[in-house]
Structure 1
Amino acid sequence: MSKLVLNMPCNTFTLETIMCCVFGLKAFDVAVYFEILKCKPAKINEIAESLNRERSTIQRSAQSLMNAGLILRKQINIKEGGYYYKYEAIPFLDVKEKIKKTMNDWSRDVCKWVDEIEENDANELINNLI
């Protein structure tokens, strides 16, 4: 995958930083999402082994990813009793659509906010900073 970099006047964004910002994730959570996407449904211990991390670390990331709506957890019942979970990532196309919607909403809100700023408000803000 080519390195997507978006240069803004005051910051540079990558796919990782955009996903962190939009979904409230940590960088490692993004790595876990892509590992689950690559592995298809996978157990926590499989992901942990693949990323060379502790199960508890992967479980925390999986919880964050579920809260963000980026992965699903399915309970698999064992015939002899008990169960385990498999995790599946939502398609990356859906993630891209969520990112675009969030960024469009944000852009619209910023434009509306800028339109509502009066010159007096800006002067007052500057005076408070000085």
Structure 2
Amino acid sequence: MSKLVLNMPCNTFTLETIMCCVFGLKAFDVAVYFEILKCKPAKINEIAESLNRERSTIQRSAQSLMNAGLILRKQINIKEGGYYYKYEAIPFLDVKEKIKKTMSDWSRDVCKWVDEIEEKDANELINNLI
């Protein structure tokens, strides 16, 4: 009977909730993405200061955003030795395309899932509800 179960990861659609749903992010991660997009390449400290958050909080969000493919990290070598990282957001147009593709794939899969539901499965569900 589990065939008739469809988990809905989102029930309110805003850009923030769609990005959370599509990319598996938290709302704050989305805010960090847009801050990095606004700041262009930026260091973690700069983003933390701008958002008034701890550096470690921004680092966790940056890791989630990198895993989702929404930001890139570039190592900058210091002439005297050492290095630091700058983070850059992928263009929002690319994000929109990823969202549209994911939603299109999801819609196709849901339609296929609905087509595969047998009448006997629906009747069984109704009988279990009564």
SS at match of 1:12: coil
Q: Secondary structure of the residue that 1:42 maps to in structure 2?
A: coil
| Structure 2 gap ranges (5+) | none
CA–CA distance in structure 2, aligned partners of residues 97 and 3 of structure 1: 30
Moved over 3 A (4+): 1-11
Aligned residues of 1:5 and 1:13 also touching (Cα < 8 A): no
Task: State the identity as a percent.
Answer: 98
With over 3 angstroms needed to count, the CA separation of the structure-2 counterparts of 1:72 and 1:20, relative to structure 1, is: same
After TM superposition, give the deviation of residue 11 of structure 1 in Å.
Answer: 3.4
Secondary structure at 1:25 match in 2: coil
**Partner secondary structure for residue 7 of structure 2:** strand
Kindly report the root-mean-square deviation, in angstroms, between the aligned alpha carbons of the 2 structures. 7.4
List gaps (5 residues or longer) in structure 1. none
Alignment check: 8 A CA contact 2:10 2:17 kept: no
Tell me which moved more, 6-15 or 113-122: 6-15
Give the structure 2 partner of residue 128 of structure 1: 128
Q: Mapping of 1:9-28 within 5 angstroms? A: 11-28=11-28
Structure with higher RCO (Cα < 8 A, 6+ apart): 2
Question: Which residue number corresponds to residue 54 of structure 2?
Answer: 54
**How many residues in Structure 1 have an aligned counterpart in Structure 2?**
130
SS at match of 1:13: coil
Q: Deviation string for 1:2-59 (max 9, x for gaps)?
A: 9999999993310000000000000000000000000000000000000000000000
**2:10–2:21: 8 Å Cα contact kept in structure 1?**
no
